[in-house]
Chain A
Amino acid sequence: MSALLEVKNLSVEIPTRRHLLVPVDDVSFDIAPGEILGVVGESGAGKSLTGAAVIGLLEPPGRIGGGEIRLEGKRIDNLKYRELRRIRGAAIGMIFQDPLTSLNPLYTIGRQLSETLRTHQPLSETAAKARAIELLDEVGIPAASERIGQYPHQFSGGMRQRVVIALALANNPKLIIADEPTTALDVSVQAQIINLLKRLAADNGAAIMLISHDMGVIAETCDRVAVMYAGRIVEIGAVRNVVQAPNHPYTQGLMASIPRLGKDDARLAHIKGSMPRPTDIPQGCAFHPRCPKRFEPCDQKRPELMKGDSSQAACWLLQREADQ
């Protein structure tokens, strides 16, 4: 029981007028203390919903359909609202994609910071303010004591994302879920923000679940990576292994399409077709219609994660190799 976060057989359901969608289907993974796990996949693969499910912020009518989530061994997926609220922002911090819209435009950042602090810690107004200035300082905002009285619109995008990080880290969470934290930012700022996040997590001994569609960011930042496709994890393992010797044909395609330095948008050019929508996920392996290496069982039976030489992958090829 050394894992900080354990997710077992998690599924997320969204009942709609005509279907019951299962955009996250039977997903299992864990994160060790201080570890950085990347979750990569195309938009709609279910990575953001997985993150939202962990922190208990699925938007109705979305809901957890099955499985369990444990934080330091304690189940948190079936907590009452009151108990869950105490975990959010305290044990688990979350950072969203768009720093421009994550901050309430009508309150000063100082007020938003001290509010977050005082919700979870018994601090006086002045102590909270002092801590807020400290936090802004830590995330690298110059002249923090002056800027604390300013409103979000007075900050640039990169600066706002720093404020967001300060807010997420305010109560020293053990786990930070970062959902596309740099996607909305200028390329020049992206690396700064990622490095900042990584440094602060290391300082605090916090683990990070980094959700991104950008394999480049994941490869540079994470210890391990989980690749998601159509609501399932298709491959999970140490970043270096997955990047250098991917086992799943989808991951292989993904790696082949990593943009080289300077070339930005050659995304997934190497895999024909597109990911199925949650309304029509094919039988068997969800990837089989696009898979260059499919064979008999692929359109019949769904593969579970199997141990490969360097990582775990949900692919019948591994079974065949093992059998041979």
Chain B
Amino acid sequence: MGFLILNRVFQAALVMIVVAMAAFVLSNYVGDPISNMVGQEATQEDRDQLREDLGLNDPAPVQFVRFIGNALQGDFGISYRLQRPVSDLVAERLPATLELVMVSAIFALVVGIPLGIFTALYRTFWGSRLILTVSLAGVSLPTFVVGILLIYVFSVTLQWLPSFGRGETTALGGWTTGLLTVDGWRAIIMPAITLGLYQLTLILRLVRAEMLEVLRTDYIKFARARGLTNRAINFGHALKNTMIPVITIVGLNIGGLIAFSIVTETVFQWPGMGLLFVQAVQFADVPVMSAYLVLASLIFVLTNLVVDILYVVIDPRLRTERRVKAGV
């Protein structure tokens, strides 16, 4: 067990080093950092001096180590566009994105898993077929279209919910949260649904497919032959086995949620990392882009790590490692 997790940690570190290299190449070699920092009127001497001061003439490995050192302290330089330290920008924006992603993930799981179980258990019931057909439509609805439709119905036409921003937020130390006020909750409803809908349909279909697969296995057949109740079979035996692959995919999809939070934040003008990133891409704001790259990857790698550990907790086959088979 320890070995397995250590192995995963090692892999995660490897991925982060690769990502850091990409971010380093991005900030130092794509475009000219100097011309982005100084005005048009700067002389060649000024530029050369700045280049020397910033250490841009050092060998690449030295620069890379410095880059990592700075990144570990949260220093990604100054945003070209906003002329503020990237770390400040990120610290301001991160809570908004994390809250959005969290609420959407919970929404997708809480609705998706029961619907998936239901449609698997009552396969031939018309309601299940309806849910499945609707879910296919859900997969085909681009995130931003969902957002626009929600805004049109609930903000423009019915005027029930706000169409942009986080609403009223409360500061808790360095963290701002919108989840402590009614206003904040009203503001997060539509963005969370928009972001979570696609994941919801994915989870629904995955849970259904896995559940059907598990219900066909021999141990379920044997459980039936032992006369266990449907409840014990479906929720005791089948569900637990279903959850193993589901956890993996859900873990992988945290990455998808983070990626698509970019779209959702743009639609709802949600003041998070995603909006910051899109603006950075539009304006070629390299320090922000590389910071986002590193941070998103970090969140992503960490969730994967958590998933791997969860996996070990659920599946006893992984827990015992290669213990020698006892008895014949």
Residues in A lying within 8 Å of B, measured CB to CB: 55, 57, 81, 85-90, 93-94, 96, 98, 101-107, 115-116, 119-120, 141-142, 147, 150-151, 153-156, 158-159, 164, 167-168, 170, 189
Contact = CB atoms under 8 A, between A and B. Distances in A.
A106 B225 contact: no
B129 interface: no
Contacts of B221: 57, 96, 102
A3 B136 CA distance: 55
Interface stretch (B153-161, B186-194, B314-322): B314-322
Given A147-B327, A151-B316, A153-B316, 6 more contacts: A81-B230, A101-B218, A103-B219, A105-B316, A141-B327, A154-B323
11 contacts: A85-B229, A88-B226, A94-B222, A96-B218, A101-B217, A104-B223, A105-B241, A119-B227, A142-B327, A155-B326, A159-B327
A55 B222 CA distance: 11
Nearest to B240: A106
Contacts of A158: 328
B326 A154 contact: yes
B237 interface: yes
Interface in B221-264: 221-230, 232, 236-237, 240-241
Contacts of B226: 88-89, 93-94, 116, 119, 167-168, 170
Contacts of A154: 320, 323, 325-326
A106 B228 contact: no
Contact of A156 (B237, B241, B320, B328): B328
Given A89-B228, A106-B241, A151 B327 contact: no
B36 to A, nearest CB: 56
Nearest to B320: A154
Kindly list the 3 A-B residue pairs having the minimum CB-CB distance in the complex, ordered from nearest: A89-B227, A88-B227, A94-B225
Contacts of A87: 227
Interface string B283-299: 00000000000000000
Contacts of A90: 227
Main secondary structure of the interface of B (DSSP, over half): helix
Contacts, number: 96
Contacts of B230: 81
B67 to A, nearest CB: 45
Interface string B114-157: 00000000000000000000000000000000000000000000
B232 A119 contact: yes
B252 to A, nearest CB: 22
Among A57, A86, A153, A168, which residue has the most Cβ atoms of chain B within 10 A? A153
A138 B272 CA distance: 65
B219 A89 contact: no
A105 B219 contact: yes
Given A96-B222, A98-B218, A104-B237, A153 B317 contact: yes
Contact of A85 (B219, B227, B237, B315): B227
A85 B224 CA distance: 8
Contacts of B217: 101
A246 B150 CA distance: 77
A175 B137 CA distance: 51
Interface string B195-229: 00000000000000000000001110111111111
A285 to B, nearest CB: 33
B222 to A, nearest CB: 4
A190 to B, nearest CB: 13
Nearest to B243: A106
Contacts of A115: 228, 232, 236
Contacts of A101: 217-219
A96 B219 CA distance: 9
Contact of A96 (B225, B240, B315, B316): B225
Nearest to A102: B222
